[in-house]
Structure 1
Amino acid sequence: MIYTVTFNPSLDYIVEVKDFKQGVVNRTNDEHIFPGGKGINVSIVLKNLGFDSVALGFTAGFTGIEIEEKVKAHGCNTDFIRLESGLSRINVKLKSNEESEINGQGPSISKESLDKLMVKLEALTEEDILVLAGSIPTSLPEDIYENILKRLADKNIRVVVDATKDLLLNVLKYHPFLIKPNNHELGEMFGVTLKTNEEIITYAKKLKDMGARNVLISMAGDGAILLTEDGREYFSKVPKGTVVNSVGAGDSMVAGFIAGFLESNELEKAFKMGVATGSASAFSEELAKKDDVLRLLATI
């Protein structure tokens, strides 16, 4: 089974205002509410591609109930831990002449609640895949990802990590199966600005040297690069299409990679599937659907 962890899920309230003006009443032209969070996005796209997963994490209050209901409505399995107080966050995304976001803080997660999650994770076996994705709330220790991989180190679980800076760097010694920074995040880890594919590959190799088995670098409209554990390097341009909404495209790439690998057991095919799936989400208002993914896959 595939398990995804979203520590701080959200309701994403996306509103479109034709000509937003500060200091006055504005009315929306369009609005949508989606369940948000990188792990949740991975679970939803996996389901769209025909793969079951279990979405783990923490929810609180009436917003947490709505998050769970919306995730289930996508056909996903959930096993969230309910917190006794607080509210799961609402993230407001305003689309107008410019795009703006206001992200909520989310509830406080106690040690007792975190221990409940650890019990669930320690039940995983080598037959499972674990996806750790996204930022963590301030109530959790900064080394939480590292602690999880340390406790699971002897289980031979294939772990996928999509995180930034120290959250990612500190887990490399536990040899995650796949990591997926984007090119900007990769540069931030080493304090450099990366401008060419050669520079990106050079620094991606450093992540491999530090322990990552496979390194997938997303580069938005410039494509993607994969460095594999057996020393191969792949580059792909993105398929032709119009970017409608880039939110969730990176998470979709992760889901597509996992789906492609499970279908073929081949990293090259997984890479192509990842690129097609990320692109399908970017070219749509919603997360990638299987028919769109397969159509784009044929062009890669």
Structure 2
Amino acid sequence: MINTITLNPSLDYIVKVDSFKVDALNRSLEEQVYAGGKGINVSIVLKNLGVENTALGYIAGFTGEEISRQVKEHGVNCDFIKLKNGLSRINVKLKSDGETEINGSGPVITETDLQNLYEKLNSLTKGDYLILSGSIPNSVPDDIYENIMKSLLDKGIEFVVDATKDLLLKVLKYKPFLIKPNHHELAEMFNIELKSDEDIITYGKKLQEMGAKNVLISMAGDGAILLPENGEPIKREVPKGVLKNSVGAGDSMVAGFLCGYLKNKNIDEAFKMGIATGSASAFSEELATKEQVEELLLQMK
């Protein structure tokens, strides 16, 4: 079974305004409300591709109930922990002449809430996959991902980690099956400027030396580079299409990679599937569907 964790999910309120004006009344042209969070995005795309999985994490208040309702509506199994106080955050994305985002902070997660999560995770068994992705709320320890992986080390679980800087660097010693930084995040981790594919490969290999098995580095329109556990680095271009929405494209790439890998354990096929799925989300207003991914896979062949 595949499990995702979203520690600080959100309702993403996307509102479009014609020529937004400060200190004035603005009327929206279009509004959308989506359940958000990197782990939730992975769960939804996996389900769209026909892969059963369970979404874990925390929800609170009426906004949390709506997050859970929307995720279930996509057919994803939900096992969220309901917090007694607070509200799951609302992230506002204002689209006008430019794009402005205001992200909420989310509810407080107590030590008891953390123990409840560890108890749920303790039921995972050998061969399960656990996907840890996204930022963490201020109320949890900054080594939460590290502690989760450490607590499950003897269970034979495969970890997938899509996080930034220290959140990612701290877990490499536990040998995650897959990590997926983008090229900007890779540069930030080592405080350097990446000027070529060779630079990206060099620093990607450093992450492998620190413990990661497979390193998938996304580069937006410039494609992606995979450093497999066994084998030479592979670069692939993205298929042709019009960028409509970059939100969730990286999460979709993770979902596609894992879906492709589980079919026959072929790492190159998994890579193709990851690129096609990430691109399908980028070329759509919503997250990738199976039909969109299959169409792009034909184009890539």
The TM-score by the shorter chain falls in which range?
Answer: over 0.9
Q: Secondary structure at the match of 1:29?
A: strand
Give the whole-Å Cα distance in 1 for the aligned partners of 2:233 and 2:298: 21
After TM superposition, the structure 1 = structure 2 runs for residues 244-283 of structure 1, keeping only pairs within 5 Å, are 244-283=244-283
Query: Residue 192 of structure 1 aligns to a residue in which SS?
Result: coil
Matched with 1:209 is: 209
Counterpart amino acid of residue 113 in structure 1: D
Gaps of 5+ in 1: none
Aligned to 2:100: 100
Give the whole-Å Cα distance in 2 for the aligned partners of 1:118 and 1:242: 42
Greater mean alpha carbon deviation, residues 24-33 or residues 38-47: 24-33
Note the C-alpha offset of 1:276. 0.2
Structure 2 gap segments, 5+ residues each: none
Cα distance in 1 between the residues matched to 2:73 and 2:67: 10
- Aligned residue in 2 for 1:110: 110
CA distance in 1, matches of 2:88, 2:82: 10
Matching residue of 1:152: 152
Provide the aligned length of Structure 1 versus Structure 2: 300
Letter in 2 for 1:163: A
Q: How does 1:175-190 map to 2 (within 5 A)?
A: 175-190=175-190
1:124 aligned to 2:139? Answer: no
Structure 2 counterpart of 1:89, one-letter code: R
Letter in 1 for 2:244: V
**1:91 matched residue in structure 2:** 91
Alpha-carbon offset, residue 202 of structure 1: 0.4
Distance of 1:71 and 1:299 partners within structure 2: 30
Letter of the 1:22 counterpart: V
CA–CA distance in 1 between the matches of 2:237 and 2:96? Answer: 29
**Range moving further from structure 2, 175-184 or 226-235:** 226-235
Q: By how many angstroms is 1:219 displaced? A: 0.6
Cα distance in 2 between the residues matched to 1:153 and 1:45: 27
Superposition pairs of residues 223-242 of structure 1, within 5 angstroms: 223-242=223-242
Matched residue, 1:39: 39
Identical residues among aligned pairs (%): 65
**Hey, what's the Cα distance between the residues in 1 that align with 2:229 and 2:264?**
17
* 1:179 positional shift: 0.2
- Divergent runs of 4+, >3 A: none
Instruction: Provide Cα deviations, 1:95-124, integer angstroms capped at 9, x if missing partner.
Output: 111011000000000011111111111211
Deviations 1:113-149 (A, max 9, x none): 1111111112111221100000000000000000011
**Aligned mates of 1:253, 1:212 — CA distance in 2:** 18
State the distance in 2 between where 1:54 and 1:236 align: 30
SS of 1:63's equivalent? helix
Letter matched to residue 147 of structure 1: N
Kindly indicate whether residue 257 of structure 2 is the aligned counterpart of residue 243 of structure 1: no
Structure 1 residue 194: deviation in Å? 1.0
User: Structure 2: how far apart are the matches of 1:103 and 1:255?
Assistant: 24
Distance 1:36 1:295 in 2: 26
Q: SS state of the match for residue 187, structure 1?
A: helix
For 2:297, give the aligned amino acid. L
- 1:144-163: CA deviation from partner (whole Å, max 9, x where unpaired): 00001111111121110000
Measure, in 2, the Cα distance between the counterparts of 1:207 and 1:299.
32
CA distance in structure 2 between the partners assigned to 1:147 and 1:112 by the alignment? 15
Instruction: Tell me which amino acid in the other structure corresponds to 2:181.
Output: P
Matches within 5 A, 1:127-138: 127-138=127-138
Partner AA of 1:43 in structure 2: S
**What is the root-mean-square deviation of aligned Cα atoms in Å?**
0.7
Deviation string 1:272-294 (CA, Å, 9 cap, x unpaired) is: 00000000000000000111101
**Post-superposition shift, 1:23?**
1.1
Higher mean alpha-carbon deviation, 70-79 vs 118-127, is at: 118-127
* Structure 2 match to 1:12: 12
2:34 is paired with a residue of what secondary structure?
A: strand
* SS of residue in 2 equivalent to 1:216: strand
* d(CA) in 1 for partners of 2:26, 2:263: 48
Give the counterpart letter for 2:160 in structure 1: V
